[in-house]
Structure 1
Amino acid sequence: MKEKSERTVLIAGGGISGLALANLLEKAGIRYVLLEFYDEIAPQVGASIGLQSNGLRILDQLDCANDLISLVDIPLNDTYKVVSVLELDNGIQVTTDKGKVFEGDILVGADGIYSTVRKEMWRIAPPGYFPADEWSSVPCYYKCIFGISRPIEELAKGHHYVYNEKFSYLVLVGPGGRFYWFLFVKLPVPLYGHDIPRYTKVDEETLALKHASDQITPEVTFGQLYGARTSSTLTPLHEYVFEKWHYKRIITIGDAAHKFEPLTGHGGNAAIETAASLVNHLTSDECSDWTNAQIEGAFAAVQDERFQRVQWLVNNAHQTQEIQAMATPFLATIGTVLARLTGVQTVLRLVAHKVIGATRINSIPVPRREHTVPFNDELPSRPLSWRWLPIGLGIISQAALFRLATRILGPLEIPTTFGGEPLVKYYTGFRIVDKILTSLVAVFGVPLASNNMVANLQWISFTPLLLSTTLDWTLESYRVGSKGLLTSFSSIFSTIYQLKAVGRIAPLYHLISVCEQIFRGSIAPTTDRLVDKEVVESFVPGIALGYIMPTALMLWPFKNKVTWQKFIAIWQPFPVYVGLITAGFSTFLRKQRASNTPQPKTSKESLGPRKQKAETDSLLRSVYVVGTAATALVHIYTLYRTASSPDLSFSGVFGSIRYLVSGTYPSDPADKIHVFLQRDMFLNAVSVLANSIYRTLDLRRLGYITGKEALAASLAVLVAQPVLGPAAAHIGFLGWREEMFMRIDRRIGAYN
């Protein structure tokens, strides 16, 4: 058995995949020989590479993300092109164009779409091992002129995507203000394999002249951009993932295995990922001796790990190009519409969706970098693909509860007195408003002023659930990612439930919130879940002054029934109070701090947002802890009162589930109101419970929690319902969920 330092990997090709692999092997302590045909490792042919977070993360592990030149840290002795390959008993021998022979333990073909290593692998392998004449299946739908141009003053720096019928442009700024650009032109018909041409400089100039008048921007044409070029090349764009990448001790990576259309910029990054995957498997315990069987197993594992991902990315690149080139009348119609409607956050989510499943080097720590979307391997557990299961359960459960609410929450007969005294009919001077308030006060007079101990205790137990619902909906509406969503208008939903019963509106609100997840997608930056510090600070007085104080005054048994009715009327629009106080205070605090906070001048001073996030997290914890404790105490009080009184029973106060869902009502109007409030509370509690379980399943699907944590959280919420009450269970769950978000923040170092 050879020692690691004695093993040799032959690498054919000095492109991005070959260079990345060379550095990865060097980090792993494995000797390599890099064979490259060109005199320069990075010749100026007009090409560029878009480095994305998945590729940069691996380069960061190599300590070269900031300086790509350091990918080559040994002198070039000579240049060689592999022309033939020979199998040895426990190795590989290659012969170069200059007649020099190299031997190694394995051969990696990183030599591009026209890979000699792949051709030799096909030649050596027995018939049937590879698909027959697979090269004839490699398609080409587009050709592309790519180049680099000198700075043009009229052309704004940044990214320019230009949609056209059957062609498109990508122009972006690079180092030194130079522009890196691509003209993609759709071929009249797809070409395959040997029918795909290799273009000449004359072909390039002819195509450039044809498109010279195309507008890149209103001020700049392609002719101007092409005229300022320092280098350019016309090339066909192959798009293909080869069915098999390896044979015995030979494997292909990068374009030699999976060739991308370059628009999305994932080709080079995918090459780096495959190189990392190869090194991971070559240095694993399962490949400790580098026997023939172990090498073949490692190569097979690389393809198994990478094939579906690169196939998906290749297909996505093709689809993106088809849209931007408006390849069909349908795509021409929707392409420009999507371009106008797609905002920055949507683009970031789409990009993140493509990189979160990226491979990294297992043996090298990942440097800590601030980012807001976790990679899958940074999560407590692997994300699950069954996104529609929690969404389906969420929709079905809330829709069923909403339908149940329409059946069992029947119309009420409004009492004509308040505790035996006349109803107050003048509150605001607006007839419609006063009529509504009079009816509501009359209804609430049953549990509050009728000496009905059962109804009174039931209503006291209901108030914490309204608090937890208000807390949840208000804070959720202020999360960064909730802006513009229907559920961000929480005060409107809360005001409606004061008029139409929370048992009806809570399932509807939760149903809408689940549906919003469909349109938001499965990727959300951790910053989407942030709540501003000013909002949390303002919510405390908002809930105290807007709900707790009015509720206390409503429950107080005033001897003066007129005064009592007025306080009950004042309580009714409490969602508006909470919303206005929170919005007003937070706006004031935000403006005050903006005017008093100087701009950071040093990196230490710029740590302010991290400190503010830590303070916000601490304040949120306090809100959830105090809220859980306070609502639990109210529930325990109602349990004690019910258990200690011979005149009370749990079914009398809270209702039995069988009777609650039956839809039948007693004939007495006051008893009917009591049953209505029982059912209203029941529907609210069940809706909150179902939504908590949905949120738990969604956290597991995202990989934010483990399966055991999901099970434990669901059981805890269920057990806490009768023990601590639905409100305490609700707020406690919200606090735990917030802690899970904070845990992800800490894992990815976004605010640490």
Structure 2
Amino acid sequence: MNKPQQTVLIVGGSVAGLTLANMLEKFGVHYIVLEGYDEIAPQLGCADQVMSLIDRPIRDSYLRNPDGSLIKHYSGIREGEMFLEILYNNLKRKASVLSGQRAVSVKILDHGVEVTTSIGEVYRGDVLIGADGIHSTGRKEMWRIGNELSPGYFPVDEWSTVPCHYRCIFGISSPIEALLGGIHYVHNHNLSYLVLTGLGGRVYWFLFVKLPVPLYGNDIPRYTKDDEARLAQEHALDQVTTTVQFGHIYEARTSSTLTPLHEHVFQQWHFSHIMTIGDAAHKFHPLTGYGGNAAIETAAALVNHLLSNRNLNWSDSEINAAFSAAQNDRHDRASWLVADAHEYQQRHALTTPLWRILARILPLFINGDAVFHVLGQKYVGASRLDRLPVVKRQHAVPYDDELPDKPLRPVWLLTGLGVITQGILYRVSNKLLLPLQVPTTFEGAPLRDHYTGIGSVDKILTDTTRPDWSNCLSSRCQRTPNLPANSIWDRVLVTGHWSDLATVSFDLFTKEVADAVIPGLGFGYILPTALMLGPFENKDTWQKFVVLWQPFPIYVGVLVAGVSTVFRRQKTTATVSGLKMKQRQASDRPSKQDKATQSTLKLVYAGGAAATALVHLWAVCRILSSSDLSFSAVFGNPSFFLPGSHASTPKDDVLLFFQRDMLLNAATVLAHNVFRILHLRSLGYVTTKQAVAASLVTVVAQPAVGPAAAHIGFLGWREDVFTKVQRRISACN
């Protein structure tokens, strides 16, 4: 005997409801959608016309001051079709979507649920999903039934705690010639605007106005057209741009509505065979657009757990477990995003003196890529349908489920650990690196005090040559050549361009930059270092080279930037004449160019690690093979590293200073490497096992191949981690 078909009753033809219907249809699950309006996606304004982000031309985004003047211009991607219409048209069984049938009452059956609609029709199903918005009938009936059957399951009068901080007029207007195409975010005092142009030049707009005091529950009003007209008149002279006022947009409206904006995540989303999703479970401020995404995510989480049993044997316990698991997956994330959306609106409404200052300043220092990556972090933890393959599309930021391991949050714990570690190292350095006796000569020659003619600059440069280089470098370090070399390599890797390259996201690191690293290091670091180590007969010349060496990180950065720019221009010039071939090969080039970039980087990392490891091993061999040298003489006696200890002579004090400096440098590099490994684990880019193994290898590598080689090797491994993640999210793999 065949099992009866399982049925899901969906109350509400919203984004949440129609998305769930599409998902259930994909898996062959029978559903019925009960929509109160006479048509799906009625002309309610623009609130439900969610803008997709796929396959449309680049559009302009403008961030504006209260007077309409421009703060910052960004480029983004927006698309102007109605999302509800897309969801509805995609359904194969449109007969299962019943309009004009508003749910009125719900009854729990022995193994199912029964819904009575506004026209007296009765529908039965195994589960009921309330997707009918903030004023959800499904949720109200769920509360009623839960309070009758299980008193205390739901909080007492939770509706009275639902807050409203803002009200909003939203609408659609006819094209306005003076309004630039794109998206306009307008800051203002206790209010803000979102205005965007759509297909055919139509203008979609939102005016968000902060209430004098927050309202809650039943105290939140239902606004009338007269309320809307009065509010619009109050703000008619507000500048949206320097040439367009809100009054111009409002006068050109074809539809508009004034509505309160509830913001809340309900504590319990389900009871028995009933569950709520979308705005019925979590209501967002609309400025960020999180609400539609969250509705889709919750629908996906629900389907994942509801269909985890392939036999679809929906017993009471299985349904309750599925509903509980879906809520557990989504509740914390929804709460975080609701709070984030509220704060986002607070910033746009300039609700504090601090934001009134930062709103003008911060955008000037943040480019479009930075904005994209910050906003992208809100979406990477999204739920997905586990039983469907993900369509391969090129994207820049990996989703959590594309990573080797689950990201660890909150990241502030890791940040706090890093700050504490650096604080400890800083305090230890203050104890160990005691002031040296200031010499008055350099290798017996007078100290130069004139380099640039600028007094303050010359004083700094003079101080850099005051340690007695003749005693330190010529006498001691000629016998222990690894001491300055190791220390300098550590410095370039920690403070120079290498560490900058290591922190650059893999999608921003071009082949031209990779090719420029070798000449940049050669001429910016290796050459100045060789000249500094001399020695020169002319002590005045030697002092100049010592000073010349000091800003080598700047040399490396400037050279890499300059050389990469030259390479980029040469490439552009060379490809202009071959434009057709360029277009024909466009789909292949990104993959080939990425591989070329990775090959160059591997060469740089391997060469740097090998060179510094050889220097370290050579120094170790020199110490072991020489009767005049010992590890304690070269790297320092442990007792010398106690705070307050001094050497017997000023000359040995200088050597002790450099030994302590090298020790602290090595400790800082090790802490940096371990912190970066833990950071990769917190991002989910490596597994816990890989992070532990990498940390152990980094510690062992310090004495084995030297801190510099260990650090360069770590950077190479880290780049390889980025490359593997990039392959996971590439549409070309």
Q: Give TM-score, length-normalised by structure 2.
A: 0.85
Structure 2 Cα separation of the partners of residues 134 and 285 of structure 1: 33
Aligned 1:19-30 pairs, distance under 5 A: 19-30=18-29
Structure 2 Cα separation of the partners of residues 380 and 659 of structure 1: 45
User: Which residue identity does 2:399 align to in structure 1?
Assistant: F
Alignment partner, residue 183 of structure 1: 207
- Distance change >3 Å, CA 610–CA 251, structure 1 → 2: same
Comparing 22-31 and 204-213, the one that deviates more:
204-213
Structure 1 Cα separation of the partners of residues 84 and 518 of structure 2: 45
Alignment partner, residue 254 of structure 1: 278
> Deviations along 1:50-105, whole A, 9 cap, x unmatched?
45779x9xxx9xxx999555443333464222222222211112222222222211
User: For 2:537, which of 562, 565, 590 is the aligned residue?
Assistant: 562
Q: CA deviation at 1:616?
A: 1.8
Q: SS of the residue aligned with 1:305?
A: helix
Aligned 1:317-716 pairs, distance under 5 A: 317-327=341-351, 344-345=368-369, 347-409=371-433, 410-412=435-437, 414=439, 418=443, 423=445, 440=465, 443-446=468-471, 448-450=473-475, 452=476, 455-471=477-493, 473-476=495-498, 479=501, 527=507, 530-549=508-527, 551=529, 562=537, 566=541, 570=545, 573-574=548-549, 575=552, 578-579=556-557, 581-598=559-576, 602=583, 604-605=585-586, 608-716=589-697
Structure 1 Cα separation of the partners of residues 442 and 260 of structure 2: 85
Q: SS of the residue aligned with 1:170?
A: strand
Q: CA deviation at 1:365?
A: 2.0
Percent identity over the alignment is 48
User: For 2:144, which of 123, 144, 150 is the aligned residue?
Assistant: 123
- Distance change >3 Å, CA 662–CA 312, structure 1 → 2: closer
Conservation of the 8 A alpha-carbon contact between 1:413 and 1:669: no
Aligned 1:187-198 pairs, distance under 5 A: 187-198=211-222
Aligned 1:18-417 pairs, distance under 5 A: 18-48=17-47, 49-51=49-51, 68=87, 70-76=89-95, 78-79=98-99, 80-125=101-146, 126=149, 127-285=151-309, 289-327=313-351, 344-345=368-369, 347-409=371-433, 410-412=435-437, 414=439
Conservation of the 8 A alpha-carbon contact between 2:269 and 2:276: yes
Q: CA deviation at 1:449?
A: 3.8
Q: CA deviation at 1:588?
A: 2.5
Structure 1 Cα separation of the partners of residues 345 and 206 of structure 2: 12
- Distance change >3 Å, CA 653–CA 112, structure 1 → 2: same
Structure 1 Cα separation of the partners of residues 177 and 38 of structure 2: 34
Alignment RMSD: 3.6
Conservation of the 8 A alpha-carbon contact between 1:148 and 1:181: yes
Alignment partner, residue 13 of structure 1: 12
Structure 1 Cα separation of the partners of residues 334 and 653 of structure 2: 63
Q: CA deviation at 1:438?
A: 11
- Distance change >3 Å, CA 671–CA 315, structure 1 → 2: closer
Q: CA deviation at 1:334?
A: 5.9
Q: CA deviation at 1:584?
A: 3.8
Q: CA deviation at 1:430?
A: 6.9
Structure 2 Cα separation of the partners of residues 537 and 339 of structure 1: 32
Structure 1 Cα separation of the partners of residues 317 and 50 of structure 2: 37
Alignment partner, residue 64 of structure 2: none
Comparing 463-472 and 152-161, the one that deviates more:
463-472
Comparing 537-546 and 693-702, the one that deviates more:
537-546
- Distance change >3 Å, CA 602–CA 69, structure 1 → 2: farther
Structure 1 Cα separation of the partners of residues 356 and 135 of structure 2: 33
Comparing 547-556 and 693-702, the one that deviates more:
547-556
Alignment partner, residue 737 of structure 1: 718
Q: CA deviation at 1:107?
A: 0.8
- Distance change >3 Å, CA 603–CA 435, structure 1 → 2: closer
Comparing 45-54 and 638-647, the one that deviates more:
45-54
Q: CA deviation at 1:608?
A: 3.8
Structure 1 Cα separation of the partners of residues 168 and 234 of structure 2: 13
Q: Is there any run of 5+ residues in structure 2 with no aligned partner, and where?
A: 57-78
- Distance change >3 Å, CA 219–CA 546, structure 1 → 2: closer
Comparing 304-313 and 584-593, the one that deviates more:
584-593
Q: CA deviation at 1:197?
A: 3.2
Alignment partner, residue 505 of structure 1: none
Q: CA deviation at 1:139?
A: 3.0
Structure 2 Cα separation of the partners of residues 476 and 449 of structure 1: 29
Q: CA deviation at 1:231?
A: 2.1
Conservation of the 8 A alpha-carbon contact between 2:164 and 2:214: yes
Conservation of the 8 A alpha-carbon contact between 1:355 and 1:375: yes
Conservation of the 8 A alpha-carbon contact between 2:481 and 2:619: no
Q: CA deviation at 1:310?
A: 1.6
Conservation of the 8 A alpha-carbon contact between 1:213 and 1:222: yes
- Distance change >3 Å, CA 15–CA 715, structure 1 → 2: same
Conservation of the 8 A alpha-carbon contact between 1:11 and 1:34: yes
Q: CA deviation at 1:240?
A: 2.2
Comparing 42-51 and 595-604, the one that deviates more:
595-604
Q: CA deviation at 1:526?
A: 5.0
Conservation of the 8 A alpha-carbon contact between 1:10 and 1:33: yes
Q: SS of the residue aligned with 2:394?
A: coil
Q: SS of the residue aligned with 1:355?
A: coil
Q: CA deviation at 1:11?
A: 0.8
Q: Is there any run of 5+ residues in structure 1 with no aligned partner, and where?
A: 483-524
Structure 1 Cα separation of the partners of residues 351 and 613 of structure 2: 61
- Count of matched residue positions in the alignment of Structure 1 and Structure 2: 691
Conservation of the 8 A alpha-carbon contact between 1:381 and 1:703: yes
Alignment partner, residue 720 of structure 1: 701
> Deviations along 1:515-563, whole A, 9 cap, x unmatched?
xxxxxxxxxx654xx334333322212323444355556668x8xx617
- Distance change >3 Å, CA 678–CA 181, structure 1 → 2: same
Q: CA deviation at 1:638?
A: 1.3
Q: SS of the residue aligned with 2:478?
A: helix
Structure 1 Cα separation of the partners of residues 209 and 526 of structure 2: 66
- Distance change >3 Å, CA 86–CA 570, structure 1 → 2: same
User: Which residue identity does 2:566 align to in structure 1?
Assistant: F
Comparing 315-324 and 211-220, the one that deviates more:
315-324
User: Which residue identity does 1:10 align to in structure 2?
Assistant: L
Q: SS of the residue aligned with 2:313?
A: coil
- Distance change >3 Å, CA 552–CA 17, structure 1 → 2: same
Q: SS of the residue aligned with 2:210?
A: strand
Structure 1 Cα separation of the partners of residues 296 and 566 of structure 2: 49
Q: CA deviation at 1:262?
A: 1.4
- Distance change >3 Å, CA 429–CA 29, structure 1 → 2: closer
